[in-house]
A and B are shown apart, each in its own frame.
Chain A
Amino acid sequence: MAITPMDIYKYLPKTNCKKCGENTCMSFAFKLLSREKKLEDCTPLFEEKKYEEYRKKLEELLKPLEEATETGLVVKEELCVGCGNCVVVCPVHVAEDPQGAGIGKGPTIEDPILRVENGVVKIVNMGKCRRYGKERILCVACRDNCPSEAISFLEG
């Protein structure tokens, strides 16, 4: 299930107290999702007893964020059949490895983003993904061409 900023916002204090350094609770929700802020930055959640239940809900809600990679990519290896569609369609692979992954072979570069190992897809080097870093693009080519839904993103 994808998590939206609205899901997070529902359980925040909604007082816009600015203690976290953000102007509004809504923008804090966005930053939580992009993992630029941590739940601990919202001090009222931890200090005031009336928010305790909400805090617990949030902690549960944000659990998948810890399992996901830096770009929000989640791979469920148990669903993967190793077809390699994701490896071949990845625009970064095509640009950097035109004679390997670009023409359907296994990647010939040392540090591809994804590689099929022991029959299932593994994340090798997330740093190359177009979704990584400040100037990211929300590319979903790998997920769109995964027939077994083994690849998903946090934002859905």
Chain B
Amino acid sequence: MICPGCSCLCDDIEIMNGVVRNACRRGAEIFLKYKENRSKPIVNGKEVDVDKAIDKAVEILKSSKNPVVYGFDTTPVEVQKLAIDLAEKLNAYIDDTSSFCLGDLVELVLKKEVPTTTLDDVRNYAYVIVYWGANPYHSLSRHMSKYTYYPRGEKRQKGYEEDRFLVVVDVRKSETAMLAKTNARYIVVDNDLELIDSFFKVMEGKAAKYANEVSAVIRELRKSDFNVIFGGLGLKYGLRDLKPFVELVKKLNEISPTYFIPAGFHANMRGFNETLFEKTGFVNKYSFRDNTSKDSYAFVELLKNDTIDSALIVGTDPVKSLPFEIVSKLKKIKTIVVDPRNSLTAKIADVVIPSAISGIEQSGTMVRSDGVRVKLDVIEERDVNDYYVMKRILEGL
């Protein structure tokens, strides 16, 4: 089975006599508890049948002047395509969680500003492995054991103590940083820009704030012909402007081939970014009315500035993930939620349409954090899934 828990999309999950093998705690929960806390079709607080809920959703979207279509990070690419068609038809805003998550880092990769590679190649060839502002222990539990630092690979047969060099860049000693012991470096930063600056200065032979750490990393880079940097939220929010980082990756490639992969996110966030990028050339926060992407078109900003009057939220739970003063504005607008679970957002929505859990009840394709497309397996296919609901809404319009 493929685990739809995060963008690692682990492909070695087995279910034996009700026991989920090999999945991490987050992944196993999805398989063990997918029948719990399910949503029901609801219109204005009253339970109705699915058709009525869909009709009401169509009615709201038809009469809306400024709708937003938001979410889709846990739905397959096929559903994301429909979502983009729907947003185009409505002349709506479209956004996903990547606007406050790692969308900018995916954009770097899709626009080919930095060289990238696949996690399988990382396992087989990578020597220096940098986690910059990422703590995979929490966000992608199996990242290090399945793809990067711990497994043995084609050209890395001796194991992590000799054949890998781990670098963890973080502001605090995270669980991942604690693993940086033998043949590893943990760099505590209080300003990511200073660390980038240190790299440039050391390469020019000048004194720098992080000279010791940076020289050690550069020494190791010279030993190898395959290195990789994983960037997390710490990198995005530590820098704000990613240009210096792009320059750094370019400069490091003069020493030794160094690739970049965003560290990871929701199961199919990259799928959304790629699908929208193919259609429009932008990865998120897009408006089909203006045919452009702007910071003020991000879901958070749209809510904050009262730009929208209705929201179609699919497969995400903003009430859980965003600050109260922002999501409390959802109560002022018409909200339609399509979600298999009775999420916190579903509890405050005007219309709730139940759907299916990707990877367990609905098949499709998802995109792993490194861009590899993975076909999902299903345990029991459901007829009313995201694809069906989106198709029906699209037809209704």
> Which residues of A pack against B, CB within 8 Å?
80-85, 87-89, 94, 98, 102-106, 115-120, 144-145, 147-148
Q: Which chain B residues border A94 with CB–CB below 8 Å?
A: 152, 159
Which residues of B have CB within 8 Å of A115? 21-22
Total inter-chain residue pairs, C-beta < 8 Å: 97
List the A side residues contacting B142 at CB < 8 Å. 82-84
Could you say which of B23, B137, B144, B151 contacts A148, with CB atoms under 8 Å apart? B137
Q: In the bound complex, do residue B25 and residue A120 qualify as a contact, i.e. CB atoms below 8 Å apart? A: yes
A-B pairs, top 6 by smallest CB distance, nearest first, are: A106-B22, A104-B151, A119-B28, A119-B25, A82-B24, A147-B175
A88 to B146, CA, bound (A): 8
**What are the residues of chain B within 8 A of A88 when measuring CB–CB?**
145-146, 150-151
Contact string against A for B residues 178-205, beta-carbon threshold 8 Å, 1 for contact and 0 otherwise = 1101000000000000000000000000
Nearest B-chain residue to A91, judged by Cβ = B159
With beta carbons under 8 angstroms apart, the residue of B12, B150, B151 that contacts A145 is B150
Cβ–Cβ contact B24 & A105, under 8 A: no
Across the interface, do B123 and A116 meet the contact criterion of CB distance under 8 Å? no
A88 to B123, CA, bound (A): 13
Closest B residue to A84 by beta carbon equals B145
- Is A117 in contact with B150, judged by CB distance below 8 angstroms? no
Range of interface residues on B (Cβ < 8 Å): 35 or more
Cβ of B162 under 8 Å from chain A: no
User: In the bound complex, how far is the Cα of B146 from the Cα of A89, in angstroms?
Assistant: 11
Q: Is B232 an interface residue (CB 8 A)?
A: no
Q: Are B24 and A81 in contact (CB under 8 A)?
A: yes
Residues of chain B having any CB pair with chain A under 8 Å? 12-14, 19-29, 32, 123, 137-138, 141-142, 144-147, 150-153, 159-160, 175-176, 178-179, 181
What A residues does B22 contact at CB under 8 A? 84, 105-106, 115-116
Q: Are A102 and B151 in contact (CB under 8 A)?
A: yes
Alpha-carbon distance A10/B159, docked complex (angstroms): 42
- Given A88-B146, A89-B145, 13 more A-B residue pairs with CB atoms under 8 Å apart are A82-B23, A82-B24, A83-B141, A83-B142, A83-B145, A84-B141, A84-B145, A104-B123, A104-B147, A105-B146, A116-B28, A147-B137, A147-B178
Which B residues lie within 8 Å of A148 (CB)? Answer: 137, 175
Q: Once the chains are docked, how many angstroms separate the CA of A104 from the CA of B155? A: 15
Bound Cα distance from A106 to B14, whole angstroms:
9
In the assembly, what is the distance between CA of A22 and CA of B73, in Å? 66
With A89-B160, A104-B151, A144-B181 as known contacts, state yes or no: A83 contacts B24, CB within 8 Å: yes
The residue from B21, B26, B32 contacting A106, defined by CB atoms under 8 A apart: B21
Which residues of the partner chain A approach B160 to less than 8 Å between Cβ atoms? Answer: 89
In the complex, chain B residues whose CB is within 8 Å of the CB of A85: 144-145, 150, 179
Which residues of B sit under 8 angstroms from A82, Cβ to Cβ?
A: 23-28, 141-142
A residues within 8 A CB of B176? 147
Complex Cα–Cα for A126 and B222 (A): 42
Residues of A within 8 A of B150 (CB): 85, 88-89, 104, 145
A87-B145, A147-B178, A147-B179 are contacts. A116–B23 as well, Cβ < 8 Å? yes
Q: Are A117 and B20 in contact (CB under 8 A)?
A: yes
State in angstroms the CA–CA spacing of A71 and B178 once bound together: 25
Task: Please state if A117 and B21 are interface contacts (CB–CB under 8 Å).
Answer: yes
Residue pair A118, B145 in contact (C-beta under 8 Å): no
A59 to B25, CA, bound (A): 35
CB distance from B92 to the nearest CB of A (A): 38
Q: How far is the CA of A104 from the CA of B14 in the complex (A)?
A: 15
- Which among A80, A98, A106, A144 is the interface contact of B25 at CB below 8 angstroms? A80
Q: How far is the CB of A103 from chain B (nearest CB, A)?
A: 5
The chain B residue sitting closest to A94, CB to CB, is: B152
Please report the C-alpha to C-alpha distance between residue A133 and residue B159 in the assembled complex, in whole angstroms.
26
Contacts of A81 in B (CB 8 A): 24-26, 137-138, 141
